Structure formats: structure tokens, C-alpha cells
Chains A and B, each alone.
Chain A
Amino acid sequence: MSSTTTSNELVMGEVGRLEQVVDRRALAEVCRSFHDLFALPVRVFSAEGVLLADAHEEQAVCAYVNGLANGRAACTSVVDAVKRLEPDGGSVTHPCFTGAEYRVVPMVYQGRRIGRFVIGPYVPAEMKEVPRSLLVLDSRIDPEKSRGLLGQMPRVRADTLIRIEEHFSRILDLILFSGHRAFLTSQMHVASVRQSYRELAEKNDSLQEAYDRLKELDRLKSNFLATVSHELRTPLTSIIGYSDMLAAGIAGELVGEQKEFVETIRSKGDHLLALITSLLDLNKLEQGTVRVERERLDAKDMLRELQKTFAPAAAKKGIKLVVEVEPDVPPLWADPVRIRQVLFNLTENAIKFTPAGGTVRFVAREGIADPEGDGGGMGAVLLLTPRRALEIRIVDSGVGISEVEHARIFDAFYQVDGGSTREHGGTGLGLSIVKRLVEAHGGTIQVESEAGQGASFIVTIPEPEEP
């Protein structure tokens, strides 16, 4: 009735075959011990009639009878009958022509016959005379000798036999029960593991599928971005070029508002071009196709240049620019074009978010390179080599950034305050490009700030690794 292929033994908690749940060797040991204790032969058969355990010694009377042809035939027929005997209700006694008996006891488990055991041959304690059936078997049989040999056979009283039989049944039942429990448990364990594995494998497959689809979408997005940016830039270059020429008066002198309008077209064109260039940059950085040519630069010179470049913009807002370089700072190992892009962007932001009368400081000092690789790993203290690094901080006295935003400000298109986009302008791409450029130098960028307390952007660029 079940939809899967789980075995019937497991579904219904059945014992399929006796051999499945009972260890033959251990069963043989129990039978041997039984034989040693009661001096009674015992054999255990499965329901199919397979002999599973056997503990007996050949009786002298049997050897004597088997020495005669008639006796051998009669003995074989008795043994065969005993073997084939399947007791329907309870135990049954099967007689032998020697006067001995066999007791055949069914093994019932969970209401089902699962096997049987046979005790015997033994001589009933009540037997006094050598039975006629033995004497008539062959003329050569000696009654006196037979009496003597039968006397060597184990004797047992009927009520004692019932108690012995009951005792052995219980032992076998216990073995069966324990074996069955262990069998079911192991089967269930294996089936549960298999089931769990199958469920996990299915989930894994669907996750992998989703992941592959997303990766493909990401690739398509990058390609799309690259193509679109390129296609947008071409006509834009013409727009800027022609507005330039118009503004320069190449097509005739412009008057009054004409000049003002053309200047607006050109400046908005420049802005659009910068935006598209940023998008292309970001795309290249995401795809890892940007090459960084690092060379030895002087931090002090770099910061002074920065101060000079931004002096007019800062003066317009009444903002003070301060350069602080600690003595003996390490050199700045960076791509001059790219590091300028980083520092310009950060400075632009700092000035943008600092109110009139504020200060923007450029600080250079020795920092510690964040060791690459498995920081918390085993033996990190031995495996990681410390490297000198230059730390440049750009500190403003502006609106600041709350802690929850710290991790997100480096995401593309993210701006701390949606509203401030309008107020301050910008594309939301700057910091994500900055972060990727710094990382392309093997460096890190962090922000330290609290809302309303100003912000510090800390760029750490390590010295190149020893070749």
C-alpha cells in the first residue's frame, strides 16, 4: 500500500526470515550451552525448514541401530518426519521406534510462526521396558544390549520437559526480539538518512539552479551596461564637442542668453558624461578588468595637490582645508591616476557634506595592513606576514553617517538620505567605485562616523608584497 520501495519489514515492522534477525553463531552457542546444562539435544529450524543451529551428540543406541540396514532406514524416516513436522497449534511430541521421543516446539513471534526448535531424542522418564517396535526391527537386535544403551540416553519427565521447553522458548524470544529491534532500528536509520539525503539533494539542485540563473542574469546585466554606456557616450561626445564650438564662437559670436544656454548644455553634457564614465568604471571594476599600475608616490605631495585643487571650491563655501602629515610616513604605493580618482571623490564628498565655516582635514600616517587570507585560522600568527601601510584619513565636520549605514554606503546607487540626492547631487556610484579601486590596490576603506558628528573615511594602502 505504500508508494515507495521501503521494505515490508520496515513498513509493517515484520520479521521476514528468522536468519535476518538472529546471529547463527550466537544461536549455536546458546544451543550448545542448553545442551551442556540439560544434556538434551536441541536443533533450531527456520520456518522454511533450514537448520540454523544444532547441538547434539550421537546417542549410543542410535549408533547401534544405524549399524543395521533396517535400523538405518527406520532412523532416517523418523528424522525426516521430525524435520518436516510443522506444529499447527502448540508443541507436539514425535515418537521414535526406539522408544525415545522428539519434542517439536513452534516459535511464534508477533502472532506468526517464524521457526521451530526440536528437543530430542530423549527417553521419557515413564518408559520402563524396551519397546517392541525396536525389538521387531531386526532379528539381530539384542534386548539386553538395547536396554543398556537406552539407559545411557537422557531421561526426562514430561512436566520437566514442558518447563525446559518454556524456558528455551523465552530465551529464543528474547534473542528474536532484541535482534528484531536492532534490525528495525538500523533499517529505519538507513531509510531516514536516505530520505533526508534525498530531500537535501533536491533542495541543493533547486538552489544551484537559482544560483546559475542569477549568475547568468548578472553577466547579461554587465554586458548590457557596457554596451549601453558605450553607445550613449558616442553621441554625447558630439553634443559636448559642438556645444564647445558654439561657446567658443566658432559658428559666430553668441550674445546674451544664447551663450548662457549653450554653457548649460555643455555643463549638463559633462555631468552626463561623468555619470556614464562612472557606470563603465564600476562595470569594469565589477568584472575585474581594471589594471592598477602601482608606483611609489609621496603622500605629502599628493595631499598638498588635493588641497590646491579643491581650494577654490572650499573657499566658495567658507570651508578650511588642512593637511596633516606625520613624520616618517611610509610611501604611497599606488596607481597615480586611480588613487587621485579615489581621493578626489572622497574630498568632493567631504566638501559637499560640510556646512559653511567647517573644516576638512587630510591626515596621512603609518597604518597597519589588514593581513590577507584566513585571519582567524590555525597558526595565523606564524603564517601571516605583517606589512607596512599608509593610512590616509579624510575628515569632515559634516552631517555624519549613522552606524547602520556604514556597511551600505559602499553599495552602488546607495545614498544615505534619499532626500540629500537632490540637495547635494551625485550619482550614488562614487563610493562603490572608490571601494573597488582601493581594493584593487590590495587596500581597505573604512568609515568612522556618527550621525551629526562628521565623518572620517580611512583609506589604507599596504606596501606591495616582497617579490
Chain B
Amino acid sequence: MQLDFKTRELTLKLVYYGPALSGKTTNLQAIHELVAPELRGRLMTLETKDDRTLFFDLLPLVLQAGRNLQVRIKLFTVPGQVIHNATRRLVLQGADGVAFIADSQRAETKANAAAFQNLRLNLVENGLDAAKMPLIIQFNKRDMPDIRSDAEIDLMAQRGREPVYKAVALRGQGVLESLVGLVTITLEALEAQHQLADKFGLRPEVLLGELQTRLGMKTEIGRIGRGGAR
């Protein structure tokens, strides 16, 4: 997080993490598609020939949270391939929140778990408290065959403490809900730690309202509780 009192500007860094080919870049592409152009910058991607992320993707969102207060949300993805761990660790530096994009396919269960362990390790290596990092988990690719069932994910979600979302990022389903969910818990954590409302006049509900309106989300998301899948 960066606070600029002079220009009245808050910058958040949110990182999309997950195993290779789980749809991190696709999430950013969907957000880029769904969000009005005046709200977002260009989607910066750096891919290899075979459409694999080499370094990271970056999508900036810019919001007005009340009068004379600008909030910039920078969405990053990490490269999922195992060999790019140094890059993953670098991208994770300074993250305020993490969206873990898991692949719903049964065959990817182990890859999901390994990537999650890697996330925890890299958080620790970066001097970040893994237990305190705002985190949501998205089960992507719900339209694929042989996936873990809704009932199964719901059950697992109740066991865990992170909010869990289901998505088909390729069709934009569940992508914005995941983003709003992540922004919500990230703001909660930052408020608790830095008292942004007192010091900066940032009211999370105003920002969230603005975000949802600008994202064209009609239904009220409401406060995100712990556990349970959406």
C-alpha cells in the first residue's frame, strides 16, 4: 500500500497467484473487458510464444472514493510455471491482498496445493505474515469436465477461513465477485492496521459502493463473511 497525503491518493497492490494455467491472466483479461475504459488503464501482459506469462501482467484500476480522494488498485499476476519462482517472489513483494486462482479440475488438485504452499513460502521469504495476508480463493474453470463438485467445494470452504468463489473466467463469470471480495477484505485489513478512515478519510463502504457501481454490479454483494463458498 502507498499513501500520498499530498495528492490524496491511495494505491493498493493485489496479486493473482496460482498454479500454471489456472486462469490468472484470464481473470485480468475478463476484468479488463468488463470494466469501463475510463476506470482502467491498459492491460500490460508479457507472454511467451505459447501464451504463458513470463514475468507478470498488470492492470491498473482508478477510482474516486469520495471527494478529492483517488484510489488506484493495481492488479498483478505471477507466472505460474514452477521455474519462475524468483519472479513470483518479486511480484509478491508489497502485496496488500492475494487472490489464489485454483483450477477446479480434479487432476489439478496437487498442483493447486503445491502452488499454495509455494505462496506461503514466498510470503514468508518476503517478510510478510502469511496468516494475516488478506486472501480469497477462486475455483476457476467450473465449466470443465471432471471438476470438484459444488458440494465438495462448499464443504471444504466451510473448513477453511478464506472466502471462496467459483468462476468461469473465460466467460467472465465470478471474476468481478472475486475482485470485489478481495478488495473488501483487503480494505478491512488495512483499516484495522492503518486506520485509513481516521487518518485519510477513506470510508471503505464508499469505495466499495463506487467500485460495484462502476463495475456495473447491480446486486448488493454485502459484507463478506469468513468461510463459505459463493
B63 nearest CB neighbor, chain A only: A111
Is B87 part of the binding interface, using a Cβ–Cβ cutoff of 8 Å? yes
Q: Do A12 and B13 touch across chains, with their CB atoms under 8 A apart? A: yes
Is A87 part of the binding interface, using a Cβ–Cβ cutoff of 8 Å? no
Q: Do B44 and A181 touch across chains, with their CB atoms under 8 A apart? A: yes
A173 nearest CB neighbor, chain B only: B42
Q: Do B46 and A4 touch across chains, with their CB atoms under 8 A apart? A: no
Query: What B residues does A185 contact at CB under 8 A?
Result: 46, 55
B88 to chain A, nearest CB (A): 9
Is B74 part of the binding interface, using a Cβ–Cβ cutoff of 8 Å? yes
A286 to chain B, nearest CB (A): 41
Stretch at the interface among B89-97, B143-151, B169-177, B178-186: B89-97
Chain A interface size, as a band, is: 20 to 34
Is A136 part of the binding interface, using a Cβ–Cβ cutoff of 8 Å? no
1/0 contact string of B188-216 vs chain A (CB within 8 Å): 00000000000000000000000000000
Is B227 part of the binding interface, using a Cβ–Cβ cutoff of 8 Å? no
Query: What B residues does A8 contact at CB under 8 A?
Result: 2
Q: Do B46 and A196 touch across chains, with their CB atoms under 8 A apart? A: no
Is A192 part of the binding interface, using a Cβ–Cβ cutoff of 8 Å? yes
A188 nearest CB neighbor, chain B only: B55
Interface residues in A328-387 (C-beta closer than 8 Å to B): none
Q: In the assembly, what is the distance between CA of A193 and CA of B90, in Å?
A: 11
Q: Do A4 and B72 touch across chains, with their CB atoms under 8 A apart? A: no
Q: Do A110 and B41 touch across chains, with their CB atoms under 8 A apart? A: yes
Is B225 part of the binding interface, using a Cβ–Cβ cutoff of 8 Å? no
Is A112 part of the binding interface, using a Cβ–Cβ cutoff of 8 Å? yes
Query: What A residues does B56 contact at CB under 8 A?
Result: 188
Q: In the assembly, what is the distance between CA of A177 and CA of B41, in Å?
A: 10
Q: In the assembly, what is the distance between CA of A185 and CA of B93, in Å?
A: 16
Query: What B residues does A181 contact at CB under 8 A?
Result: 44, 46
Q: Do B44 and A2 touch across chains, with their CB atoms under 8 A apart? A: no
Interface residues in B1-41 (C-beta closer than 8 Å to A): 1-2, 7, 9, 11, 13, 41
A197 nearest CB neighbor, chain B only: B86
Query: What A residues does B84 contact at CB under 8 A?
Result: 192
B86 to chain A, nearest CB (A): 4
Query: What B residues does A1 contact at CB under 8 A?
Result: 1, 94, 96
Kindly list 6 other residue pairs between chains A and B, CB separation below 8 angstroms, not including A2-B94, A13-B44.
Answer: A3-B127, A4-B127, A12-B2, A13-B76, A185-B55, A195-B90
Contact surface of A with B, Cβ cutoff 8 Å: 1-4, 6, 8, 10-13, 109-112, 177, 180-181, 184-185, 188-189, 191-193, 195-196, 199
Write 11 A-B pairs (CB below 8 A) sorted by A numbering. Answer: A1-B1, A2-B126, A3-B128, A12-B13, A111-B9, A111-B70, A112-B9, A188-B56, A192-B84, A192-B87, A199-B86
Contact surface of B with A, Cβ cutoff 8 Å: 1-2, 7, 9, 11, 13, 41-42, 44, 46, 55-56, 58, 60, 62, 70, 72, 74, 76, 84, 86-87, 89-91, 93-94, 96, 126-128
